[in-house]
Chains A and B, each alone.
Chain A
Amino acid sequence: MSDFFTVALLTAILRSATPLVLAAMGGLLSERSGVINIALEGMMLTGAFFAVAGTHWTGNPWLGAAIGVGAASVAALIHAFWCITLRGNQIVAGTAINLIAAGLTAFLIQLIWDRAGATDSVEQLPDLFGTVNVLVFAALVIVPLVHFYLFRTKQGLHTMASGESPQAAESVGIDVTRNRYLAVVASGALAGMGGAYLSIGNLSYFTLDMTAGRGFIALAAVIFGGWTPFGAAGAALLFGAAQAIQIEAQATSGFPISADLLVALPYLLTLIAVTGLIRKSNGPAGLGQHANAH
């Protein structure tokens, strides 16, 4: 047992948590601005795919990551257009984005690499200090930045006002539409970065549906973390730890907790959290509302 919690396990936890933390920060920005974002999953998948495609095209993983982040931002822009400008149902739009991302990435693998299931290997983003990928550090830096942005800058406070009460925000001259567009596109960029970590940070290729529900876990982390940056990051770390320990536990005989129970933990905890049994679960009051209801 004492051999179990090693440096290797700690880095494994960081590796599992990084895509969750990045996507959770994205989900947080979007939700705080008042736009429900269940499209995080599709945005991550888009980012993961185009990071590989971009690296394949340019031969440079940095440019590849940028292309992945850009593509996920475009997916987010579509989500924003449907939710904010067309005032369509935010969950419907998110469901559509997720379906399109799954279909389009599968379609493009076939088109670009002429085979199904997975792409070829491309160059990875570099590791720092030996084994820890550069995007792991990016995730660690982004959390306090998002906190500072939301709670210490005018723009961030306006974003939160847009999420709490769009009508009131509008009445004091805050441009709710602009704030929400910015927040949703930023959420796409961050989710795309999380996806890029999965494909060219942790691995060097893209496989079908490689996000495997991580976008939804990230959303769960936002809710379980009480819609604050450090809370969401903590939850993402906890959920990442559950995944990492599960993988380790499968390799360790006589591990006391059922591995399957551990992977189910994020879902179970979030289910309990939203019922308010642990503590009151308070999302932004204006979540899903439009600025000028008619």
Chain B
Amino acid sequence: MTIRPGSAIVNAVGSVVAVLVALLIGAVVIVISGQDPWEAYRSLAEGALGSRRGRAETLVYAAPLILGGVAFAVAARAGMFNIGVEGQLVIGGFAAALVGATDWGLPSAIHIPLAVFAAAIAGGVWGFIPGVLKAATGAHEVITTIMLNYLAFRLIAYSIQKRSDWLPVDDSVQGTERVLDTARLPIILDATRLHAGVVIAFVAAFAIWFVLFHTTFGYKVRTVGLSEGAARYGGIRWGLTIAIAMALAGALAGLAGAGESLGLHGRHSAVPPGLGFTAIAVGLVGRNHPIGVIFSGLLFGFLSAGALTMQAEADVSRDIVLVLQGLVILAVAAFEAMNRLPWFRALGTPKTPPGGDRASDTGMSPEIESRPAPPAI
């Protein structure tokens, strides 16, 4: 493996450095607020990793972030900035809970897959819309996905408040009715909240890694993300590819919602969880690579799982974790900026064509990043 800017090893090191820098700045914030950062981080780590239950919680928090992070990554590989992970996630979780709470007398072997499938379809449709709008009209996906987030929130709120006549929803708890036992994802570790949705997350991440890097479709997605022109020149249908990639991203986010509804909470609540926005950070820190996303998802899950213990033991507000997550994004962005500096690039082997694996920097479309397009393949 050559050490050059943009390569997997440099990206991985960059992400680790970015996380460390963010933790350091976080420590400064904690010091300024008059508390002990060492004690804060120690209790955070102890809460997340120090016990069997803590380790299970880390995985439970990581699962939707890994799926959401991969949902962001797949879209990013196709050159689409998917801010709509949150909307796709909630609409998927809502669909899963509706199917899961409806009593058709189905056995688990059918009810669970049906509810999970409903989530993937609902999320997939919510992802497909911005994809197809971009392909057909050029509408910028950042705007359309933001709008679709709020439309999802409104649709769910409306359904819960007004449509109890024909949907299994309960206005008094601001959510759906409880998911029936036949549709609950089973707990896979006794006396913890570790549910089978965690397995779905890992399997999906590996499956997407395979699809992206070892199938023709994945090749098309990555080509489209690198250069629309090159893709068209090579005979790839740009519009179709981004629409399918976005639908796939939405389906993955929908699965994240399914895990929350069918595995963790047992219902879907109308309050947006914000997981979809954290998932964007997870995707970015994982460099839009499904395996990288697994690691960054575990890191963010670790932070969330330990936050309560930190608040209880070190008396540092758990909200510092959100600040840390934001700082990680800024640090990753700063590292990427460095990646583009001439002296930093010169550290790499000069023979490497600068076009290289561009998408591994950010996976952002050349249009957004305004980088020169790599030479036609």
Contact = CB atoms under 8 A, between A and B. Distances in A.
Interface of A: 36, 38, 78, 82, 86-93, 95-104, 106-107, 110-111, 116, 213, 216, 219-220, 223, 258, 260-261, 263-264, 267-268, 270-271, 274-277, 281, 283, 288-290, 293-294
7 contacts: A99-B281, A102-B274, A103-B322, A104-B322, A107-B33, A258-B158, A264-B151
Given A38-B142, A270-B147, 14 more contacts: A78-B330, A92-B332, A99-B277, A103-B319, A103-B321, A264-B154, A267-B147, A267-B150, A267-B154, A271-B139, A274-B140, A274-B144, A275-B139, A293-B372
Contact of B158 (A101, A219, A260, A274): A260
Interface string B284-309: 10000000000000000000000000
Contacts of A263: 154
B137 A93 contact: no
Query: Shortest 4 CB-CB distances between A and B: which pairs?
Result: A103-B322, A100-B326, A99-B326, A106-B319
Contacts of A294: 372
Given A88-B334, A111-B317, A99 B329 contact: yes
Given A91-B81, A274-B140, A275-B139, A100 B327 contact: yes
A96 B150 CA distance: 19
A88 B329 CA distance: 11
Interface in B229-282: 274, 277-278, 280-281
B322 A216 contact: no
B32 to A, nearest CB: 10
Given A219-B146, A275-B137, A288-B368, A86 B319 contact: no
B322 A91 contact: no
- The A interface is mostly helix, strand or loop, or mixed, namely helix
Given A87-B337, A103-B322, A274-B140, A111 B277 contact: no
Contacts of B143: 219-220, 223, 270-271, 274
A103 B326 contact: yes
Contacts of B158: 258, 260-261, 264
A95 B329 contact: yes
Contact of A288 (B136, B280, B336, B367): B367
A260 B150 CA distance: 12
Interface in B321-375: 321-327, 329-330, 332-334, 336-337, 340, 362, 364, 367-372
Given A100-B322, A274-B139, A293 B133 contact: no
A106 B325 CA distance: 14
Contacts of B154: 260, 263-264, 267
Interface residues of B, number: 56
Given A89-B368, A92-B284, A96-B333, A111 B362 contact: no
Interface string B45-74: 000000000000000000000000000000
B329 A96 contact: yes
A245 to B, nearest CB: 15
Contact of B370 (A86, A258, A290): A290
B368 A91 contact: yes
B330 A93 contact: yes
Contacts of A103: 319-326
Residue among A78, A87, A89, A101 with max Cβ neighbours from chain B (10 Å): A89
A220 B161 CA distance: 26
Contact of B146 (A38, A261, A276, A289): A38
B368 A95 contact: no
Contacts of B320: 103, 107
Contacts of A277: 137
A115 to B, nearest CB: 10
A106 B277 contact: no
B327 A95 contact: no
B95 to A, nearest CB: 18
A201 to B, nearest CB: 24
A237 to B, nearest CB: 19
Contacts of B17: none
B180 interface: no
Given A107-B320, A260-B161, A274-B144, A96 B133 contact: no
B42 interface: no
A277 B274 CA distance: 31
Contacts of B138: 276
Nearest to A274: B139
A200 B334 CA distance: 35
Contacts of B44: none
Contacts of B370: 288-290, 293
A220 to B, nearest CB: 7
B350 to A, nearest CB: 17
B161 A104 contact: no
Interface string B146-158: 1110110011011
A216 B272 CA distance: 15
B322 to A, nearest CB: 3
Nearest to B161: A260
A47 B43 CA distance: 32
B364 A89 contact: yes
Contact of B329 (A92, A101, A281, A290): A92
